């Protein structure tokens, strides 16, 4: 993993710990399961906003995802490990390799507004775990960030930020053998000219795990009916 250093990182780390209030522009996070032909569970995580920039720089902007001593970041694979392409890294992959290594598109990586490396200015903060491997990604004092003016952090910039419809991609987490992926993280953003941060969580199971839950629920219902 390539670790970049910017002077803004120290400024980002402190508000992540101290800022507790949230401005109205941040609505929460959304997760989707990304279809693929490799049998992977691929979870895309998006931050959702509702205030485009009116022209005075006061619009919503995604800044960072991190963990602090009071709000640890922990993303984990239940019953398995993260999928890591041998041709990928911790940041968005290079799309030029997709024709040769198509599974790279479904790799595990962290990001802010980029699904490929084209134009990516993401910074991995010092102290972030080297490599997203094993079954858990955890930190209490690091994360990933962009400077507040980076176009890729603008939820409504469809040219430079994915998907650019009020949502910002903040991570893709994949597994070939796990039954679910869940996580908690601290989101840092700017909205209406003010900075804010909030703790969020997510969890999404594989279709097979959902089916097993459905069967278990059905069996439980039948047993209760028989006892009744």
Helix runs in the chain, H state only: 8-18, 207-227
In a domain, 145, yes or no: yes
**pTM of the complete model:** 0.82
Q: Taking 90 as the threshold, does the pLDDT of residue 12 lie above it?
A: no
Confidence of residue 214 (pLDDT cuts 50, 70, 90): very low
| Contact assessment for residue 201 and residue 183, using Cβ atoms and an 8 Å cutoff | yes
pLDDT digits (tens, 9 = 90+) for 158-206: 999 999 999 999 999 999 999 999 999 999 999 877 899 999 999 998 5
In a domain, 134, yes or no: yes
Q: Taking 50 as the threshold, does the pLDDT of residue 48 lie above it?
A: yes
pLDDT digits (tens, 9 = 90+) for 105-124: 999 999 999 999 999 999 99
Query: What distance in Å separates the CA atoms of residue 133 and residue 53, rounded to the nearest whole number?
Result: 37
Residue 189: give the domain boundaries. Answer: 8-227
Element (H, E) at 191: strand 180-191
| CA distance between the termini of the chain | 59
pLDDT digits (tens, 9 = 90+) for 148-160: 999 999 999 999 9
Number of domains in the chain: 1
In a domain, 3, yes or no: no
Task: Supply the DSSP string of 150-168, one letter for each residue.
Answer: -GGG-TT-TTTSSB-SSEE
In a domain, 96, yes or no: yes
In a domain, 153, yes or no: yes
Q: Taking 50 as the threshold, does the pLDDT of residue 22 lie above it?
A: no
Preceding omega of 12 cis (within 30 degrees of 0): no
In a domain, 1, yes or no: no
| Amino acid 136: pLDDT | 96
In a domain, 56, yes or no: yes
| Amino acid 25: pLDDT | 83
**Percent of the chain whose pLDDT exceeds 90:** 69
| Contact assessment for residue 112 and residue 185, using Cβ atoms and an 8 Å cutoff | no
Q: Choose among 176, 168, 179, 167: nearest CA to 204.
A: 179
Mean pLDDT comparison of 95-99, 207-211, 217-221, highest-scoring range: 95-99
Average pLDDT of span 82-88: 94
* C-alpha separations of 109 from 93, 160, 197 in Å: 8, 18, 22
> Phi, psi (5° rounding) for residue 209?
-65, -40
In a domain, 147, yes or no: yes
pLDDT digits (tens, 9 = 90+) for 49-61: 998 888 777 789 9
Query: What distance in Å separates the CA atoms of residue 29 and residue 67, rounded to the nearest whole number?
Result: 16
Low-confidence winner among 69-78, 130-139, 188-197 (lowest mean pLDDT) = 188-197
| Amino acid 221: pLDDT | 41
């Amino acid at each position: 993993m390539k670790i970049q250093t910017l002077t803004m990182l120290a400024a980002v780390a402190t508000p992540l710990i101290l800022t507790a209030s949230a401005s109205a522009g941040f609505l929460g996070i959304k997760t989707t399961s990304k279809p693929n032909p490799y049998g992977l569970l691929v979870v895309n995580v998006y931050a959702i906003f509702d205030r485009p920039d009116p022209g005075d720089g006061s619009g919503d902007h995604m800044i960072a995802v991190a963990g602090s001593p009071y709000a640890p970041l922990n993303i984990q694979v239940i019953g398995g490990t993260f999928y890591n392409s041998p041709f990928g890294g911790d940041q968005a992959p290079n799309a030029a390799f997709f024709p040769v290594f198509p599974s790279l598109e479904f790799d595990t990586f962290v990001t802010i507004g980029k699904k490929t490396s084209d134009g990516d200015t993401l910074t991995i903060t010092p102290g972030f775990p080297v490599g997203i491997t094993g079954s858990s990604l955890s930190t209490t004092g690091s994360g990933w960030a962009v400077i507040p003016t980076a176009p890729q952090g603008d939820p409504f910039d469809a040219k430079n930020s994915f998907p650019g419809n009020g949502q910002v991609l903040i991570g893709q987490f994949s597994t070939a053998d796990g039954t679910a992926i869940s996580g908690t993280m601290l989101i840092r953003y700017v909205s209406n000219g003010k900075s804010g941060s909030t703790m969020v969580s997510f969890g999404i199971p594989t279709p097979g795990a959902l089916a097993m839950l459905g069967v278990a629920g059905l069996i439980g219902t039948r047993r209760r009916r028989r006892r009744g």
